[in-house]
Structure 1
Amino acid sequence: MGTTDLCVISPATGVQVSKSGSHIAPGLPLGPAGPSGILKFVEITVNLLVLICVGASQASVAGFTSLGGFGSSFNLNWAYSPFEGTELQEVRELDMQFTQMRAPCVYGGVVFSLAAATLTLVFLIVGAKPIQQLRTGLLVGECAFSLLAGLAYLAAVGLYLHFVRQVNATEVCRRRERLYARRGYTSMNCAVQGGDAAVGLFGVVASCLYFASFVVCILAIRTVRAFQSRTAKAQHSPKGSVRDRSVRSHHAVHRTSESSHNVQALATLV
């Protein structure tokens, strides 16, 4: 059978001391902080949603003649197409120009969301340690990343929507809109699409999550520093060690006297 590691509280330092001699700060978790880990999981999920919405938005406005929405055209002679002849050629050219104009914000959104998700995953894995093994330098880096990521997401959302509105205001978009509307396809308009709005929404949510992670990280730094200071006091305070030993000795003597008293009482009854 395994032995049970009992804990007592040092009256000198207020630090919990296990039977094996290790110090445990009261009320501090021995594993990765729950709120921080949950926030990082949600941040990674929202980053992936931003990535999906960026791709879906580009695909939804690509048109009939742009493969995947990234400027590569293909011939629709083998498939159904509402356009024919010179009109088909004009639509193909406009689709390619439109998707190429949107390409910088699409590629930028994909790279930004992937980078944010990857760095968040790295901090999640590196920070998944017991509190005794956490270092304030790592937590400071995590706080800086969370703050910068929150600010960067706000700036990125603003730039993304501004760029989309600029592309939608071009003559290429207007001519394309008129050609598609002539065939009854009103979804290919020059307004901000639902996918672009979803990118902005999830981007703002991600920014709020990173700001919340920054606050949680600051609290974690204070907790770790308090734990380290209490542990250092308990290890380097001879007075506290003497008091701890005297308290344990007093408890042992008290239990021994109680046992002898019970034995004497039992002998008297017999």
Structure 2
Amino acid sequence: MVNLLVLICVGAAQASVAGFTSLGGFGTSSFSLNSAYSPFEGTELQEVRELDMQFTQMRAPCVYGGVAFSLTAAALTLVFLVVGAKPIQQLRTGLLAGECAFNLLAGAAYVAAVGLYLHFVSQVNSTEVCKRRERLYARRGYTSMNCVVQGGDAAVGLFGVVAACLYFASFVVCILAIRTVRAFQSNMAKAQHSPKSSIRDRSVRNHHVASRTSESSHSIQALATLV
């Protein structure tokens, strides 16, 4: 669920800073307000369209990278969730070890990904394209198209950190699960070994008793012959 929230916030962050002339914020050059009121016209409109195109294209790696990363993490998490939904006697420590490694790597990757995402956004916001675009929109009273980290980008960072914390917590739970499965398997092995050993001991004791009985009967027969 947190992976999906990250995915939604990545798309929402891009759409919120797309501007008037970038359809959906994915770098298309269609003017989305042809039939409605537009604050720009003439050469100013053309300049805004070019700046919006450049800005959204500069942010495109954040979008596509964030979408691919969150979808991959969500898919792998679902795989481990489905495969691990078994009774304790059917769980294997190898599978749990793989899940532990995935949780640890996913948590570390989310920390790195959030840092890279915010760093890349800050770099794009510090470019001359963003500053020219901010000034052009500000002249028309649109102060939301500024060169600071937007709320959508902050939400991506927030949910990314939450996802990292959850993966690290899952790593700890997975280690405890491995210990529980090993203890269960050890107890099962002892329980299976214990009846066999008792049966073996009883057969050995019965053999000794039979040997002693046979020896005593031979002794009695020899004594009767002498008499």
TM-score (structure 1 length as normaliser): 0.72
Paired AA for residue 108 in structure 1: G
Q: Is the 8 A contact 1:69 1:99 kept in 2?
A: yes
- Unmatched 5+ residue regions in structure 1? 1-44, 243-270
After TM superposition, give the deviation of residue 73 of structure 1 in Å: 1.7
Q: Is the 8 A contact 1:49 1:202 kept in 2?
A: yes
Q: Is the 8 A contact 1:53 1:199 kept in 2?
A: yes
Match of 2:82 in 1: 125
1:236 aligns with 2:193: yes
Match of 1:95 in 2: 52
Aligned mate of 2:28, from 47, 72, 77: 72
% same residue: 88
After TM superposition, give the deviation of residue 110 of structure 1 in Å: 0.5
**Whole-Å separation in 2 of the counterparts to 1:241 and 1:147:** 45
SS at match of 1:176: helix
**Whole-Å separation in 1 of the counterparts to 2:196 and 2:148:** 74
Higher helix share: 2
**Whole-Å separation in 2 of the counterparts to 1:204 and 1:196:** 13
How many residue pairs end up in the alignment?
A: 198
Match of 2:6 in 1: 50
Aligned mate of 2:180, from 219, 223, 246: 223
**Whole-Å separation in 1 of the counterparts to 2:171 and 2:34:** 55
**Whole-Å separation in 2 of the counterparts to 1:66 and 1:239:** 76
After TM superposition, give the deviation of residue 129 of structure 1 in Å: 0.4
**Whole-Å separation in 2 of the counterparts to 1:162 and 1:238:** 64
After TM superposition, give the deviation of residue 241 of structure 1 in Å: 5.4
- Misfit runs of 4+, over 4 Å: 239-242
After TM superposition, give the deviation of residue 235 of structure 1 in Å: 0.7
Match of 2:219 in 1: none
Match of 1:165 in 2: 122
Paired AA for residue 183 in structure 1: R
Match of 2:160 in 1: 203
After TM superposition, give the deviation of residue 79 of structure 1 in Å: 2.2
**Whole-Å separation in 1 of the counterparts to 2:12 and 2:168:** 27
**Whole-Å separation in 2 of the counterparts to 1:68 and 1:83:** 19
After TM superposition, give the deviation of residue 78 of structure 1 in Å: 2.3
Match of 2:132 in 1: 175
Q: CA RMSD in A?
A: 1.1
Higher strand share: 1
Paired AA for residue 20 in structure 2: F
Against the structure 1 CA distance between its residues 93 and 232, is the aligned structure 2 distance closer, same or farther, given a 3 Å change threshold? same
User: Over residues 53-108 of structure 1, what are the superposed CA-to-partner deviations in whole Å (9 max), with x where a residue is unaligned?
Assistant: 00000000000000000000213432211000000000000000000000001100
**Whole-Å separation in 2 of the counterparts to 1:79 and 1:100:** 25
Aligned mate of 2:70, from 113, 117, 120: 113
Q: Is the 8 A contact 1:234 1:240 kept in 2?
A: no
**Whole-Å separation in 2 of the counterparts to 1:241 and 1:231:** 16
**Whole-Å separation in 1 of the counterparts to 2:143 and 2:34:** 23
Against the structure 1 CA distance between its residues 99 and 241, is the aligned structure 2 distance closer, same or farther, given a 3 Å change threshold? farther
**Whole-Å separation in 2 of the counterparts to 1:53 and 1:69:** 13
Q: Looking at CA atoms only, which structure, 1 or 2, has the larger radius of gyration?
A: 2
After TM superposition, give the deviation of residue 109 of structure 1 in Å: 0.4
TM-score (structure 2 length as normaliser): 0.85
Match of 1:155 in 2: 112
